[in-house]
Amino acid sequence: MEKDELKLYYARLDQAFYKAMKTLGPKVYEKLEHNLTGEQFFVLNTLEQKGRITSSQLAEELQVKPSAITAMVDRLLKNDFVIRERDEKDRRAVYVRISDEGMSALKSSVKKRNIIMEKYMSKLTEEEMEQLTSVLEKLTSIIIESEG
């Protein structure tokens, strides 16, 4: 493919991605239960999937700086959505896990998010959903591999 053709695709992708995230993002992540932000939702979701992990591991999972995770976890702690625990064998190691309150907030937010996502995603065929998901997963893998 020639550079001029690629530039046209880049422009289309920029516009489509920007418009989709600008319109869909707020609908999905700004109306979560318990006043969760989109970032907090992803933290809780990761903790629910991974279980008890360190802040460093959480930062790596979410591909953010450890200082950003500390701030996010602190806000979640204030709402009793997460619990910090010291390792009994190595007191220097501190783990974070989702609390019962956090699990409840996550579950109700997932339900609400799914209702909103279904409204839009149901307009796509199964093949289109598979293609969209596969291409985004592939692009993410390419980006991660090139930076690693």
The pLDDT tens digits of the residues spanning 108-128 come to 999 988 998 899 999 999 999
What is the count of structural domains for the chain? 2
Is the domain of 21 the same as that of 43? no
Contacts of 82 (CB under 8 A, 6+ apart): 43, 44, 47, 73, 76, 96, 97, 98, 99, 102
Domain residues for the domain of 115 are: 32-147
Is the domain of 16 the same as that of 63? no
pLDDT at position 29 over 80: no
* Largest Cα–Cα separation, the chain: 60
The answer to whether the Cα torsion of 51, 53, 56, 57 is positive or negative is: negative
From CA 146, how far away is CA 18, in angstroms rounded? 23
pTM recorded for the entire structure: 0.79
The predicted structure's pLDDT at residue 21: 83
Is the domain of 45 the same as that of 12? no
The predicted structure's pLDDT at residue 100: 97
Is the domain of 125 the same as that of 56? yes
